[in-house]
Structure 1
Amino acid sequence: MSTQLKNSMPTDDEAALAKGRPGAAKKAPAAWLWLAGVGFTFIVALLGYGLAQVPGFDRVGQLACAILIAVAYRQIWGYPEAIRPGIQFSAKRLLRLAIILYGLKLNIDVVMSDGLGLLVYDAGVIAFSIFLTLLIAKWLKADTSLSLMLGVGTGVCGAAAIAAVSPIIKAKDEDTAIGVGIIALVGTIFAITYTILRPILPLSPIEYGTWSGVSLHEIAHVALAAAPAGQDGLAIGLLAKLGRVLLLVPLCFILMYWMKRTGKADGNAKIEFPWFLIGFIAMSVFGSYVLGKQIPVSYGFSSGIASLTTFVLTMAMVGLGLNVNLRDLRTKASRPLIAMAITSVLLSVLTFVLV
């Protein structure tokens, strides 16, 4: 076969595209690019840690400092597309790892006395967030699909909830991405506001943690806001938030049933169970009844685990911040953003009064 003829033949990737299978042409990212993405979030997390040592910024904390740096980087220099897989790994997988490790800080006695009734709050928060967001969106004539995703994200668990419901309601990929960006932006603003208000609020650590857990958007946002309340406050906040995550599963089944009733459902839509919830509970049991009792540990070891957990969570916050695109918010999502912001404010006020 001549060289000219051989060069004119389509490659395997080109053949796949010609057959209408663009996904078949995609190659798995090189391992070093994945490592570069994770390393990028590591570097920004270090910068956030350093910034948090500066007077003034120390009141905000390394989590908020890191995500603010990430958001600023995204707007000024753009998203580092080549290392996206590693960044997404930090935003999703490392977040779940950090939450599992946070289970070591959970005091089971606190859960038994204060946590069992949180599911009632959680169910009310989800219903309130979805219905109010849709009601305001209808009044503003905003996009229904995007508004529904934002309502679910506000009521349940932010980006993870949006990702779970988007295939069920047949949302466009770009709308899903915009919804995730809005949740990350608004949730970050609220979490930072909570940390600033914490010293002047007439709430005990448990009450403040509960308020954060039942009202904020992402798990990482709850961790950021509840951290100043101490270990018990943070643990109860995460517990309240994880209850909302658990309720994502029945909510998805309800949405699937509703979509089928309206003739719009995707019968193959799947629901991913939040397995990290099991890990969180297992680690809390281990930390409460084994570590420090059956297995003696030093204060330095416990402090080191706590620092590692916080830094892993900081890397996840960086990945989250790099998903925020302010340009998309201005051009496409202003009305759904307004509906979701109003709902978030009213949710914070209502849960503050109830707590």
Structure 2
Amino acid sequence: MSFDTQKIPGILLCLFIAIPAWVLGQALPLIGAPVFAILLGMVVGHFHTKREKTQQGIAYTSKMILQLAVVLLGFGLNLGQVVSVGLTSLPIILATISVALIVAFVLQKAFKLEVNTATLVGVGSSICGGSAIAATAPVIGAKDEEVAQSISVIFLFNILAALLFPTLGQMLGLSHEGFALFAGTAVNDTSSVTATATAWDAIHQSHTLDGATIVKLTRTLAIIPITLALSWYKSSKGLENGGASQSGFRLKKVFPTFILYFLAASLITTVVAAFGGQTALFGHLKTLSKLFIVMAMSGIGLNTNPIRLVKTGGAICWLAITLTSLAMQAVIGVW
């Protein structure tokens, strides 16, 4: 999708919605700016019915700017930090991701859920919430309403986790290390992991926040193989259904360019940090990526019918991840 000046009005509309959503997200991080952007976008979209001048820009923001946001998100991921702490949590992470994806697949088949919505909920629940959904949506060709539906489900269970998990961990007698693993593997978005670990630290005067955050960053790495696998699957299904011939099957279809750029950004951050370079710029780029995600969610909200935001199977995915995380911690002896 090439850029032209006709897209500017729609992009500016998304930006104007994103600004108050950003402010609200800073004031209420447990909810988060993307959720506010979707909600405000739906409200504005209800009244903004004449879209001859804005529709191109809205579509561009919800698709292309979303991909750019995912690339910039890579600058906040230092692979060295992840490796140093993430090996302990790796078995739990692999188990929770596998269980969530399997549960999402079973629920989609059993209850005839929309395939894209079930996929986004499974990926978002198991990996890193809104960021994983943002990265996966362009790969599987998800509609705006499917993205909004998935984000809404993730938001609901983020709130429940932040409110309930500190008490649950205390009831189960989790150690500080055990709760850091639990929060990092069973809570979705980074902001919610932070809120959950901070609540635990406030109760116990501990320092679980760093450990929980790094476990969460380790989970974020799963975006790369999951999106590549989904892209390959979509491409192969297209061939089976009479799409392009095998000779026309291009590597770019399996390895989406923006995901490769995301990986490159992560590697650049890691190399610069390893040689003692300044990473302040990377922090600004990560902040910019979050703003772009909020803008994209504004565009998605503008194109979303709130009446259809129902029935996704997210509750069962969330419960399965919680139980799997605790079971794996018991198995490996980190409790």
Q: Identify the structure with bigger relative contact order (alpha carbons < 8 Å, sequence gap 6+).
A: 2
Match 1:179 to one of 146, 159, 165: 146
Task: Tell me the residue number matched to 1:94.
Answer: 69
Amino acid at match of 1:284: T
Q: Does 1:243 align with 2:248?
A: no
CA, structure 1 residues 74+48, in 2 after alignment: closer, same or farther (shift >3 Å)? closer
Kindly indicate whether the alpha-carbon contact (under 8 Å) linking 1:210 and 1:240 is maintained by their aligned counterparts in 2. no
Report matched runs for 1:321-340 at 5 Å. 321-324=298-301, 328=305, 330-331=307-308, 334-335=310-311, 337=312, 339-340=313-314
| TM-superposition CA deviations, 1:62-82 (whole Å, max 9, x none) | x84432431222221217524
Match 1:278 to one of 264, 273, 279: 264
Task: Tell me the residue number matched to 1:70.
Answer: 37
Amino acid at match of 1:249: L
| TM-superposition CA deviations, 1:225-271 (whole Å, max 9, x none) | 234455554343123122243243245446766x499x547454822
Q: Does 1:222 align with 2:201?
A: no
Structure exhibiting the larger radius of gyration computed from Cα positions: 1
Q: Structure 1 residue 139: deviation in Å?
A: 3.2
For 1:124 and 1:82, the matched residues in 2 are separated by: 41
Kindly indicate whether the alpha-carbon contact (under 8 Å) linking 1:107 and 1:288 is maintained by their aligned counterparts in 2. no
Q: Structure 1 residue 42: deviation in Å?
A: 4.7
Amino acid at match of 2:154: G
Kindly indicate whether the alpha-carbon contact (under 8 Å) linking 2:41 and 2:301 is maintained by their aligned counterparts in 1. yes
Q: Structure 1 residue 145: deviation in Å?
A: 6.5
Task: Tell me the residue number matched to 1:136.
Answer: 107
Task: Tell me the residue number matched to 2:322.
Answer: 348
Match 1:47 to one of 20, 30, 33: 20
- The TM-score, its normalising length taken from structure 1, stands at 0.63
Q: Match of 1:158, SS?
A: helix
| TM-superposition CA deviations, 1:27-55 (whole Å, max 9, x none) | 95533734x555555544543454467xx
CA, structure 1 residues 204+312, in 2 after alignment: closer, same or farther (shift >3 Å)? farther
Q: Does 1:115 align with 2:86?
A: yes
CA, structure 1 residues 163+33, in 2 after alignment: closer, same or farther (shift >3 Å)? closer
RMSD across aligned positions (CA): 4.2
Kindly indicate whether the alpha-carbon contact (under 8 Å) linking 2:7 and 2:57 is maintained by their aligned counterparts in 1. yes
CA, structure 1 residues 284+225, in 2 after alignment: closer, same or farther (shift >3 Å)? farther
For 1:308 and 1:289, the matched residues in 2 are separated by: 20
For 1:100 and 1:134, the matched residues in 2 are separated by: 28
For 2:175 and 2:153, the matched residues in 1 are separated by: 25
For 1:121 and 1:245, the matched residues in 2 are separated by: 18
CA, structure 1 residues 316+208, in 2 after alignment: closer, same or farther (shift >3 Å)? farther
Match 1:81 to one of 55, 62, 85: 55
For 2:90 and 2:235, the matched residues in 1 are separated by: 22
Give ranges in structure 1 of 5+ residues lacking alignment.
1-26, 167-174, 293-300
Q: Structure 1 residue 204: deviation in Å?
A: 7.7
Kindly indicate whether the alpha-carbon contact (under 8 Å) linking 1:74 and 1:324 is maintained by their aligned counterparts in 2. yes
Q: Structure 1 residue 283: deviation in Å?
A: 0.1
CA, structure 1 residues 77+41, in 2 after alignment: closer, same or farther (shift >3 Å)? closer
For 2:15 and 2:317, the matched residues in 1 are separated by: 34
Q: Match of 2:277, SS?
A: coil
CA, structure 1 residues 77+52, in 2 after alignment: closer, same or farther (shift >3 Å)? closer
Task: Tell me the residue number matched to 2:290.
Answer: 313
Match 1:164 to one of 124, 132, 139: 139
Task: Tell me the residue number matched to 1:16.
Answer: none
- The TM-score, its normalising length taken from structure 2, stands at 0.66
Report matched runs for 1:6-17 at 5 Å. none
For 1:120 and 1:256, the matched residues in 2 are separated by: 30
How many equivalent pairs are there? Answer: 292
For 1:129 and 1:260, the matched residues in 2 are separated by: 25
Q: Structure 1 residue 93: deviation in Å?
A: 0.8
Q: Match of 2:83, SS?
A: helix
Amino acid at match of 1:180: V
Kindly indicate whether the alpha-carbon contact (under 8 Å) linking 2:140 and 2:231 is maintained by their aligned counterparts in 1. yes
